[in-house]
Structure 1
Amino acid sequence: MMADIVKELIESGVHFGHRASRWNPKMAPYIYARKNQVHIVDIRETVRGLLRAKKYLKQVAEGGSLILFVGTKRQASGIVEREALRAGMSFITERWLGGTLTNFRTIRDRLTRLEELEALRSSDDINSYSKKMQSSLNREYRKMYRNLNGIRNMNRLPECVVVVDPNKERNAIREATKMGIATIALTDTDCDPDIVDLPIPGNDDGLRSIEAIISHLADAVIEGKTGQPVDREAVIAARIAAQTAAAEQAAEETAALAAAEAAAAPIVVAEEAPAEEAPAEEAPATGAAVASTAACAAAC
């Protein structure tokens, strides 16, 4: 099993760090070497950190406590949302709202407001408002849904916060630390591991690296909740199938768009092609020009 984990992590590129010029010296114990001016993370430290984090998350899930997954950077948002949903936990992938943990009562009030707006939009009562007011309410709803939908079921503070890139999610870690909430983070070579309780040294920019680490952590949560081991091969197979289906759908959409553009091109050309200009007629010779020509002919 250990060999399988190491193989998966290496194939996912977890060991690729940042350029050496960007490193944080506190990450020195987790760095194996430097190659082509890029730091290579010690995969043994990655496995050690991952196993510690999985053990802790499993214990937290067994006790029925909540876990919050946070990943607002572009590379991480989709993966974090998918894996958090698979584990049945809350997530934040858009923007960390100040006070999410330290002022949780206000956040709960905003969630109540979100539910009110949803109820209003699903009923006919919204038609009693003016068009301008409806537009304002819809904007408010979209903004609140985008920022709060992932934590709408978080009815109490979490026991642990899992983040991708502690540099990016520094506010989340700061609030969690202030509230005595444990933190786990995928920590690259440019980060400070001391601000996190359980750092997992590794590449926090690569899609495959983030996916490998976060899916392992989600597996630990599921195992803690169900008491049953997760079939890792089935998880990977399902992920590959989903990626293949998404790629095929994207290819079909691209082909359909290209075909539509190709079909519309002749029509556009026909409509927009400028009319050919008729050749200009020669202007009739004036009397002076005729006389000049005759004089020239006589002289010759």
Structure 2
Amino acid sequence: MQVEKNTRMSVENLFKSGAHFGYSRSRRHPSVKPFIYGVKNRVQIINLEKTAEQLAAALEFVKKLGAESKTILFVGNKPEAERPIQTVADMTRMPYVTERWLGGTLTNWSEMKKRIARMRDLKEKREKGELSMYTKKERGNIDKEIGKLERYFGGLDRLEKLPHALFVVDSEHESIAVKEAKDSRIPVVSISSVDCNINKVAYPVVANDASRESINYIAHQIAHAYLEGRKEAVIPEAVSA
């Protein structure tokens, strides 16, 4: 899969992925009204031509991030989002969150860094066999602690400082992450369905955020845009000693 250069092709692929399906009208947020094409079987249909325009803007932004070697934090803990999010994070070697967003991940980053450092330290000691001095019970407790830390912080192991942007699946579901990003002046790219307030997001892509196929397609477009940018990154010439 490559980044779509052609708007028509982008619309076709969005349609194939089911990105046009929204929710019932009763769940619609006023901010997405211009993006509704119509209603079919009580389900709002999203105007994919407008979605394609939004996606193109998001891809341009992400490509620039790649060219500048900036960090994107991928976020999505809905069941449909977990696998696509982890896949694209691994593709781009970026950090990710697929568990419940922990309050303070961005706004209390200094404390989060300590938890990540603790996880790294315990894992390193275990790999080096330095935990053998502890009793079997103590080692068991340490293993449990490592497991818990990995569950919530494993995806953040690649994050050394606050990210330059967030990519979020369902900005309403991940409202705490979106708010923390805003408070931290970090731009957000999101897949947002018709129930989301897209005014809270810098680069919203109005599309089905409850379909793995839709999420997978858009997330991979984001990943490929970032990787394209990385290829174009300007590498400073080495300064001879």
The one-character-per-residue Cα deviations of 1:149-169 (angstroms, maximum 9, x if unpaired) are: 111121111111010001111
Q: Is this contact kept in 1: 2:7–2:53, CA < 8 A?
A: no
* Residues matched between the structures, number: 228
Among 199, 207, 210, which residue is 1:194 paired with?
A: 199
- The Cα of 1:124 is off from its aligned counterpart by 2.9
Runs of 4+ aligned residues of structure 1 deviating over 4 Å after TM superposition are none
Find out whether 1:219 has 2:231 as its counterpart: no
* Amino acid of the structure 1 residue aligned with 2:95: S
Instruction: Quote the Cα distance in structure 2 between the aligned partners of 1:125 and 1:218.
Output: 38
- Looking at structure 1, the residues matched to 35 and 9 of structure 2 have their Cα atoms a distance apart, in angstroms, of 21
Displacement, 1:178?
0.2
Cα distance between partner residues in 1 of 2:29 and 2:95: 30
Match of 2:22 in 1: 17
Partner of 1:40: 45
Q: What displacement does 1:25 show?
A: 2.2
CA deviation digits over 1:245-298, x for unaligned, max 9?
xxxxxxxxxxxxxxxxxxxxxxxxxxxxxxxxxxxxxxxxxxxxxxxxxxxxxx
Contact 2:101 2:176 survives alignment (8 Å): yes
Identity %: 33
CA-CA distance at 1:3 after TM superposition: 2.1
Q: Is contact 2:168-2:189 (8 Å) kept? A: yes
C-alpha contact 2:84 2:216 (8 A) present in aligned 1: yes
**1:76 paired residue number:** 81
1:140 match: 145
Q: Give 2:111's aligned residue.
A: 106
How far apart are the structure 2 equivalents of 1:146 and 1:110?
12
Alignment partner, residue 185 of structure 1? 190
Question: C-alpha distance in 2, partners of 1:77/1:35?
Answer: 29
CA separation in 2, counterparts of 1:66 and 1:208?
25
Write the deviation string for residues 75-118 of structure 1: whole angstroms up to 9, x where unpaired: 00110110111122111111212111111111111111111111
1:26 to 2:31 alignment: yes
Query: Using the alignment, how far apart are the partners of 2:106 and 2:179 within structure 1?
Result: 10
TM-score by length of 1: 0.74
Amino acid at match of 2:38: A
Q: Secondary structure at the match of 2:195?
A: coil
Deviation at 1:148, TM superposition (A): 1.0
Other structure's SS at 2:23 match: strand
**1:172 Cα deviation after fit:** 0.6
- Give 1 or 2: higher helix fraction: 1
Bigger RCO (CA 8 Å, 6+ sep): 2
